[in-house]
Amino acid sequence: MTSDEPWLSGFVELVAGRLRAVAPVARITIGRGDGVKTLATVGRVCERAVECGATRATVLVAIGGGNVGNITGLCAALLFRGIRLIQVPTTLLAMSDVVLSLKQGVNITGVRNGLGTYYAPELIWADPRTLETLPAAEIQGGQAEIIKNALILAPGQIPVLLKLFRPGGGYLPGELTAMIDLAISAKSAVLRDDAKERNAALVLEYGHTVGHALEVLAGGTLSHGFGVALGMRVAARVARRLGMLDDAHVDLHDQLLSAAGLPLGLPETLAPRAGELAGQLCRDNKRGYLRLDPSQIPMVLLSAPGVPALTDGIPLTGVDADLVLAEFQAAFSPRGAGARLADAPGAW
């Protein structure tokens, strides 16, 4: 299964040709964008697979970015109550984040990844050469998750990233491979003992509370990586407000994002909807881990790079929604936002 992204066509045909040498192959295309990440798409794909002759011996192969991987993963988990899955990620975000987790899921109204399960692939094959044809924004979206992994799990790699990143992109294959290696080593270390991300691995949700909310409000026009980047800026400022994080480490967040060429301001299309953020935060998928007042939001916060703040032994903190909203406004005011969208046309 793949999407209809134009830069994928040649690689998909290459993989399909290799697979046809050993088994019959049927290609299923799901379209592009966050709007296809739904249960309806899962149903359509499963029905199409059966029409093509799928059996319990069938292998579903996901070729594409994070949405393709998530949708195919959920299809594999559900079809005939579970068939084999192979992930072939073709974006930096998918290689460095999505396929490293067992989480397979789709969105429901107002909730990112509201339906899903945990399901392991038989094989993950990442070929960095597929990254050479990606638009710059696709690379930057992946870099946001790599920055996240360094901040929460591998602070010793931060100087390496600052040296490696270039706002203008244009990375060599070896440089992209180094980024992927960093993400794999950092993320796999915490997932090894918490594969379902319910304890220590909840730290991987850093930046996702506000990030997911903004993605929903944007209606699919804000990529996941860019949402996480904005969410990390807010999380850092919330931690500072609570006396956990100092100014230098808050500035470090912006320094890393700027080094990768990620804009620090809200997209202009999202700014008018900022007032809806509070309602969206109340739907955060981390609710239920802690006993919180209805006015509190569970967030992953840091007291220093690599040191998450803990409550009852898990890396979540209950934060008053009003405080989150105040720091959101501060982060994206003209003074706090740094480069606005107008300074980086097309980056979103």
For the annotated catalytic residues, the residue numbers are 103, 205
Tokens of 333: 């005011």
Q: Look at residue 158 and give its three-state secondary structure.
A: helix
98-133 burial code (b ≥16 CB/10 A, e <16): bbbbbbbbbbeeeebbeebeebebeebebebebbee
- C-alpha 123/C-alpha 205 separation (Å) is 25
Show the beta-strand stretches assigned E in 282-346.
296-299, 302-304, 307-308, 317-320
Instruction: At 207, list the tokens.
Output: 């930046």
* Cα–Cα dist 256/274, whole Å: 24
**Amino acid (1-letter code) at residue 266:** L
Alpha helices in the chain (DSSP H): 9-20, 39-51, 66-78, 92-96, 136-153, 158-164, 173-191, 208-217, 224-241, 247-259, 277-281, 321-331
What is the 8-class DSSP label of residue 305? Answer: T
| 319 exposure class (CB count in 10 Å sphere: 0-12, 13-18, 19+) | buried
Q: 124 - beta bridge partners?
A: 87
In the numeric block, which tokens belong to residue 18? Answer: 């290799």
From residue 97, give the alpha-carbon distance in Å to each of 101, 150, 252, 297, 341.
7, 12, 22, 24, 25
Helix (H, G, I), strand (E, B) or coil at 209: helix
Give CA–CA dist 89/131, Å, rounded: 10
